[in-house]
């Protein structure tokens, strides 16, 4: 068969299957990311069926997927929210960073993956999934809760930390010398600061350039600028993902809201491809050996996230139940752990088992996180020795 024909058929099957998986995820109220990963595992080498001929397309599509994921992460928070978050919650952010990077570092050294592996694993265990968490908080009707701003503030800081972490990661993964690495990091930190300050004052200019009443031209301008900035950033050794992220921060106000709306379907398509490709490139047979480690890591890093949320909520004068809710809400890991693992695996600087461990870990955390957020309340009440009141009567005044 003609290779193009074969690719079309295989791609069609993949997207069709992903559509069903996404629908299934929606039905049972979970993030589709773990199911996409499982889908990739099933299609890939050593999986149920072998789909070799779509790798070329999948590769570029997944690159675009990462760029769109980061662009939309940048769009999620305005520059002002980032700066305010940093000023008000930096202590909680620092605790979050230390507590949640430590287990990743420890397991990397335990498995003999060296300092590069440790840096990668640190990022994987650190980054909560803002996508999953924001959805869970909305679904559980917790947007009115007092601890919710505390949770969101931590996510905002993680977001900022990503902007510093990704360039460091890219520099280290490309194996540059210590001095070269420092230069890259210095450049990117300076650029980040400049963009952040610039976005506060001149964000409207970027928005005005990109904005267009016409949906079609708006979409093309957005996508064009994102790929252009990402490509240039990559050429400057800063990491394409960070470039897209900074562009997202620079776009502000109503333009950002519109951009989110326009880009969402594209992000869903390309990011799905990214997750599938990650799954495709992970050999399912490499999972059983790391399953035990993934479970240990899941238990430890759930505990460290709970501790982070607990402490941050307590500092805002929130009671025990709220502290527990804040802690449990933060557990979910997802897309960004896979983005980090994806960058690492693509560079070839880390062993193959890291991909298996990251996949297994994210599968566990993306499923367990929302469950923990839902059931933490009755669980804590049980400990307090109080009977769960169940649903409160509608009117008590």
Specify the residue, 112 or 141, whose C-beta has the smaller distance to another protein.
141
- 95 touching another protein, by CB under 8 A: no
Candidates 329, 286, 283, 285; CA nearest to 306 is: 329
In angstroms, the CA 123 to CA 128 distance is 10
The 3-state DSSP class for residue 297 equals helix
Kindly indicate which of the ranges 139-147, 190-198, 282-290, 340-348 contains the residues binding another protein, using the contact rule CB under 8 A.
Answer: 139-147
Stretch that binds another protein, among 33-41, 61-69, 314-322, 366-374 (CB under 8 A): 314-322
Least CB distance to another protein at residue 392 (A):
5
Q: How many CB atoms sit inside 10 A of residue 186's CB?
A: 11
Contact call for residue 150 and another protein (CB under 8 A): yes
| Residue 59 in the binding site for another protein (CB under 8 A) | no
CB nearer to another protein: give 227 or 318.
318
What does the alpha-carbon distance between residue 333 and residue 126 come to, in Å, rounded to a whole number?
8
Shortest Å, Cβ 374 to another protein: 13
The b-or-e profile of 254-282 (16+ CB within 10 A means b, else e) is ebbebbbebbeebbeebbbbbbbbbbbbb
- DSSP letter string over 365-391? HHHHHHHHHHHHHHHHHHHHTPPP--S
By CB under 8 A, name the one of 144, 213, 385, 390 that touches another protein.
144
User: Distance between CA atoms of 322 and 330, rounded to whole angstroms?
Assistant: 13
Among 86, 316, 371, 379, binds another protein (CB under 8 A): 316
Q: Report which of 45, 108, 81, 139 is spatially closest to residue 329, judged by C-alpha positions.
A: 139
The yes or no reply on residue 145 touching another protein (CB under 8 A) is: yes
83 forms part of the interface with another protein (CB under 8 A): no
Nearer to another protein, 42 or 321 (CB): 321
Contact 59/237 with Cβ under 8 angstroms? no
Q: Six-digit token pair at 382?
A: 């049980």
Q: State yes or no: residue 156 binds another protein (CB under 8 A).
A: yes
Among 3, 141, 213, 390, binds another protein (CB under 8 A): 141
Binding flags for another protein, 237-276, as an x/- string (CB under 8 A):
--------------------x---x---------------
In sequence order, which residues have a C-beta less than 8 Å from that of residue 184 and are 6 or more positions away? 167, 170, 171, 176, 237, 238
Site string for another protein, 61-80 (x = CB under 8 A): ---------------xxx--
Count of alpha carbons within 13 angstroms of residue 368, beta-carbon side: 20
Among 112, 213, 389, 390, binds another protein (CB under 8 A): 389
SS3 state at 314: helix
Q: Site for another protein (CB under 8 A): which residue of 14, 67, 136, 155?
A: 155
Give me the 346-385 binding string for another protein, x by CB under 8 A, dash otherwise: -------------------------------x--------
81 token code pair: 């929210």
CA 44, CA 281: separation in Å to the nearest integer? Answer: 7
Pick 63 or 158: Cβ nearer another protein? 158
């Amino acid at each position: 068969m003609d290779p193009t024909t074969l690719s079309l058929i295989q791609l069609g099957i993949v997207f069709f299957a992903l559509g069903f998986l996404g629908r299934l995820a929606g039905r049972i109220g979970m993030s589709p990311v773990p199911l996409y990963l499982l889908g990739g595992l099933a299609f890939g080498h050593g999986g149920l069926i072998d789909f070799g001929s779509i790798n070329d397309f999948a590769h570029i599509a997944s690159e675009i997927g990462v760029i769109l994921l980061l662009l939309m992460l940048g769009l999620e928070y305005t520059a002002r929210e980032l700066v305010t978050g940093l000023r008000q919650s930096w202590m909680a952010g620092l605790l979050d960073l230390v507590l949640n990077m430590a287990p990743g570092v420890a397991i990397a050294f335990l498995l003999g993956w060296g300092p590069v592996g440790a840096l990668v694993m640190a990022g994987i265990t650190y980054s909560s999934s803002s996508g999953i968490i924001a959805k869970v908080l909305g679904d559980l009707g917790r947007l009115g809760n007092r601890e919710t701003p505390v949770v969101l503030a931590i996510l905002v800081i993680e977001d900022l930390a990503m902007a510093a972490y990704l360039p460091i990661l890219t520099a280290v993964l490309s194996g540059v010398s210590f001095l070269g690495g420092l230069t890259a990091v210095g450049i990117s930190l300076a650029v980040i600061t400049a963009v952040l300050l610039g976005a506060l004052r001149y964000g409207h200019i970027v928005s005005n350039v990109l904005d267009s009443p016409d949906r079609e031209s708006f979409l093309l301008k957005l996508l064009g600028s994102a790929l252009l900035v990402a490509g240039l950033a990559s050429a400057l050794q800063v990491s394409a993902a960070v470039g897209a992220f900074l562009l997202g921060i620079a776009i502000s106000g109503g333009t950002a809201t519109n951009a989110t709306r326009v880009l969402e379907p594209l992000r869903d398509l390309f990011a799905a491809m990214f997750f599938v490709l990650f799954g495709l490139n992970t050999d399912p047979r490499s999972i059983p050996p790391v399953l035990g480690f993934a479970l240990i890591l899941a238990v430890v890093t759930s505990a460290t996230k709970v501790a982070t949320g607990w402490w941050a909520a307590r500092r805002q004068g929130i009671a025990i139940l709220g502290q527990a809710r804040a802690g449990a809400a933060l557990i979910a890991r997802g897309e960004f752990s896979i983005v980090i693992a994806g960058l690492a695996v693509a560079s070839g600087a880390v062993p193959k088992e890291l991909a298996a461990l990251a996949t297994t870990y994210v599968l566990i955390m993306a499923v367990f996180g929302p469950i923990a957020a839902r059931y933490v309340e009755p669980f804590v009440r049980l400990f307090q020795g109080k009977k769960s009141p169940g649903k409160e009567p509608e009117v008590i005044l």
